[in-house]
Structures are given as C-alpha cells and as structure tokens.
Amino acid sequence: MDSDPKVFVFDEVAKHNHQRDCWLIISGKVYDVTPFLEEHPGGDEVLLLAAEKDATDDFENVGHSLSAIEQMEKYYIGNVDMSTVPKPIDYRLAASQSVKATTSSAESSGSLLTLLQILVPLLIMGVAFYLQFYGKKQ
C-alpha cells in the first residue's frame, strides 16, 4: 500500500471543471468533489466556479464548520504541486496602476487643454485684429 499521496500538476487538476468531473484545490490538497456537487448547501455552481484555480481563499472566506472540514477528507485524492499553480491576480495592484496611468494621462491632457485655452482666444483675437485693420483697406 502506497502511503505517499499522489501529486498533481495544476493543468491536470484544472481539466476537471464540470458537473460530471469536478476537482478543487484547497490548501495545496486536491479534492474530487463530483459526488458532493448536488449535496453542497451553497449549490453546485459555487464549487464549479472554484474549479480551475486555487480555491483556498474562497473556501476560507465562507467560514465552513468543523464538520464540513472533516467531511472534506473523504473527497481527498492527492496534493497539487504548488509551483505549477498560477499566482492569483492582485486586482488592487492592477487598479492602482490603472489609476496612476489615468492620472498621468489626465495631467498631460490637462496641460494641453490649458495651452489650448490660451492659444485659441489669442488666435481668434489675431484674426479679428487682422480683419479689423487690413480687411477695411480692400
């Protein structure tokens, strides 16, 4: 009997992402939750949405009971090689970079707008001056 758990790569686990075959990664462990989909109190959609990624944060944010955590063990099928799991996107970082880009873009367009607010009236006054003095002579 082999006591070492099977180790999966992320891409292999991610293929199991539908109702007839659903695996989840939680805290570095892989669970085949296919038989539990219909029983899950939050519905099967919650579990299906957690497939194809590391669902640890999703699982922990819900605040599962101790009995739910104990029940998970019967669905355990192995571990995931964490070096193969993609890093989650930090949307806060992406949003702050977007704000910086928008701010610098707004600052440069604000400078152009200020310049145009000065030049356009000067241009209009120049044309009016030209027409006033040189237009009458013809």
Domain boundaries, the chain: 7-84
Residue 13 has pLDDT above 60, yes or no: yes
Report whether 27 contacts 57 (CB < 8 A): no
Domain boundaries 7-84, corresponding CATH code: 3.10.120.10
Work out the number of other CB atoms within 10 angstroms of the CB of residue 50: 20
Q: What is the pTM of this model?
A: 0.63
Using alpha carbons, select from 27, 18, 134, 126 the residue that is nearest to residue 80. 27
- In whole angstroms, give the CA distance from residue 56 to residue 41: 18
Average pLDDT over residues 101-122: 74
- In whole angstroms, give the CA distance from residue 37 to residue 22: 8
Work out the number of other CB atoms within 10 angstroms of the CB of residue 12: 14
Weakest mean pLDDT among 23-32, 85-94, 114-123 = 85-94
pLDDT score at 107: 64
Residue with tokens 């999966």: 8
